C-alpha cells in the first residue's frame, strides 16, 4: 500500500478554503447589494409550504434573518397548533430527483468509456436507463406528477 504524507492533503485543503471563501464572498455581496426592510413576519420560523406557527416569537435575530421569499402573514384561521401532521408531498420530488441525479452520475463516466466498450456498454446502459424509465412511466401513470 502506498504511503500518503500530509502534502497529499494540500489539494483537499485548498478546495476546502475555496469552498468557505465562495460562501463568504456570496453572502457578503448579497448583503451589500440588497435592500434591507425587516419585519416581524419575515423573522418567523419558516418552512417551505407550511403555515408558520401562530405564536412564534419574533426571533432575537430578527435584524439578521431576512428570508428572501418571506411568507405573507397568513390568515389566523389557517394556523393551527405547533404540533400538526403535514402531508409529505415533497417526497415524490425527492424520489424523482434522486432518480435522475443517480442516472446522471452513472451516465457521465459511462459516456467517457463508451467508445472502448462498444455495444456491450450501450446495452448495459440501455437496461439501466430502461429500468429508470419504467419507474418514471409508472409514476406518471399513477398521477404522481400532478400536484393535488
Partner 1 sequence: MNEAQGLQIDWAGLAPMIIVFAAAFGGLLVEATVPRARRLPVQVALAVAALAAAFIAVVLNSGKNAAAFAIEGTGLGSVVLDGPGLFLQGTLAILAIVAVLLLAERRTTRGGDFVAEAAVVADSAADRAQQREDGATEIFPLTLFAVGGMMMFVTAGDLLTMFVALEMLSLPLYLLCGLAKRRRLISQEAALKYFLLGAFASAFYVYGMAMLYGFAGTVDLAGINRAGVSSGQPRMFLYLGVAMIAVALLFKAAAVPFHMWTPDVYTGAPTPVTALMAACVKVAAFGGLLRVFNVGLASSAWDWHLILTIIAVATMIGGAIFAVTQRNIKRLLAYSSIANAGYLLVGVIALGDAVGQTMFYLAAYGFTVIAAFAVVSLVRDGDEEATHLARWAGLGKKSPATAVVFTVLMLALAGLPFTSGFTAKFSLFAAALQADELGLVIVGVVSSAILAFPYLKVVVLLWLNEPAPDAPTVNLPSPMAGTVVAAGVAATILLGVAPGPLLDIVDQASVFLNT
**Comparison of 91 and 108: residue with beta carbon closer to partner 1:** 91
Tell me the closest approach of the beta carbon of residue 119 to partner 1, in angstroms.
8
DSSP 57: P
Exactly one of 76, 85, 146, 147 binds partner 1 (CB under 8 A); which one? 85
Cα 79 to Cα 17, 28, 58, 73, 137, distances in angstroms:
43, 35, 16, 10, 37
- Per-residue cell: 104: 446522471
Site residue total, partner 1 (CB under 8 A): 18
**Residue 132, burial from CB neighbour count under 10 angstroms (0-12, 13-18, 19+):** middle
The span from the CA of 60 to the CA of 58, in Å, is 7
User: Is there binding between residue 123 and partner 1 (CB under 8 A)?
Assistant: yes
Query: Does residue 80 interact with partner 1 by CB under 8 A?
Result: no
CA angle 139, 141, 147 (to 5 degrees): 70
Nearer to partner 1, 56 or 92 (CB): 92
Q: Return the residues of window 86-115 that contact partner 1 according to CB under 8 A.
A: 87-88, 91
3-state secondary structure of 39: coil
Which CB atom, from 16 or from 123, has the smaller least distance to partner 1? 123
Query: Which one, 34 or 142, has the nearer CB to partner 1?
Result: 142
The contact set with partner 1 (CB under 8 A) reads 1, 85, 87-88, 91, 117-118, 120, 123-124, 131, 134-135, 137-138, 140-142
Amino acid at each position: 500500500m502506498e504511503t500518503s504524507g500530509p502534502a497529499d492533503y494540500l489539494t483537499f485543503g485548498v478546495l476546502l478554503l475555496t469552498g468557505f471563501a465562495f460562501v463568504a464572498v456570496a453572502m457578503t455581496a448579497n448583503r451589500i447589494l440588497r435592500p434591507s426592510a425587516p419585519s416581524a413576519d419575515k423573522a418567523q420560523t419558516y418552512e417551505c409550504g407550511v403555515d408558520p406557527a401562530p405564536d412564534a416569537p419574533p426571533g432575537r435575530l430578527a435584524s439578521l434573518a431576512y428570508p428572501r421569499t418571506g411568507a405573507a402573514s397568513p390568515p389566523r384561521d389557517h394556523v393551527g397548533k405547533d404540533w400538526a401532521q403535514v402531508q409529505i408531498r415533497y417526497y415524490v420530488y425527492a424520489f424523482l430527483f434522486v432518480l435522475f441525479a443517480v442516472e446522471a452520475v452513472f451516465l457521465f463516466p459511462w459516456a467517457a468509456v463508451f467508445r472502448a466498450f462498444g455495444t456491450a456498454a450501450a446495452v448495459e446502459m440501455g437496461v439501466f436507463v430502461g429500468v429508470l424509465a419504467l419507474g418514471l412511466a409508472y409514476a406518471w401513470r399513477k398521477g404522481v406528477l400532478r400536484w393535488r
